[in-house]
Amino acid sequence: MELGTLIRELCSGMLVSLEIFVLTLVFSLPLGLLVAFGRMSKISPIRWLTKIYISIMRGTPLMLQLMVVYFGPYYIFGIRISSGYRLTAVLIGFAINYAAYFAEIYRGGIEAIPTGQYEAARVLGYSKAQTFFRIIFPQVIKHILPPVTNEVITLVKDTSLAFVLAVTEMFTMAKQIAAAQTSMVPYIAAGIFYYVLNLIVAIAMEALEKKLDYYR
């Protein structure tokens, strides 16, 4: 296979990988914040339910979770599943998995803020919502950027796990081409694609971190 053809084939798979990556962040980041609130809730049932959820998501393999999300509706409820559900199942599995990790990162960042800031905001007449989103959350973002960056980079690589549900993302495409051509070149090219994407993510997150330096 010519290099140009190989790159075009991998790019088609890369678009699927990027779709999984972007949509996972879109859903998991806000969901993680909600889970973090539940984890810190003063209501015991909510706090324990979110704690169990986080424990399960972090304690079991993502690959297993993807298979449960995809096959669960049929095995548990007898609902017939179609091939069109594959990508949806991947997105659900990734979102609920990464939300658990982001929730703990958020919680660590929120709990690192001195309680004096909450008290000062209350004296100034801020509501709880205003205090959190105008004063606390910007500082939390600054504190959690390094661990969030690590998770985002891991997500780029984890998109390759979509192959378990036969979603043709870049790694699956590289594997198919390598098997057909009996060559390592597709794997090397895929590795370069992943590395470049992670490099872009790292540079973007570093630039964002520098922009937030005024919170020091």
Cα-to-chain-centroid distance, residue 32:
9
Cα of first residue to Cα of last residue in the chain, in angstroms, is 53
Region of residue 170 (left: phi > 0; alpha: psi -120 to 50; beta: else): alpha
Tell me the two tokens of residue 62. 């993502």
- What is d(CA 53, CA 48) in angstroms, rounded to the nearest whole number? 8
In the chain, where are the structural domains located? 3-215
Question: Taking the model in full, what pTM does it have?
Answer: 0.89
CATH hierarchy code of domain 3-215: 1.10.3720.10
CA neighbor of 167 nearest in space, from 83, 72, 57, 108: 83
**What is the pLDDT tens value at each position of the chain, 216 positions in all?**
566 777 888 888 889 999 999 999 999 999 999 999 999 999 999 999 999 999 999 999 999 999 999 999 888 888 888 778 999 999 999 999 999 999 999 999 988 888 888 888 888 888 888 888 888 888 888 889 989 999 999 999 999 999 999 888 888 888 888 888 888 888 898 899 999 999 999 999 888 888 876 555
Tell me the two tokens of residue 107. 């919680």
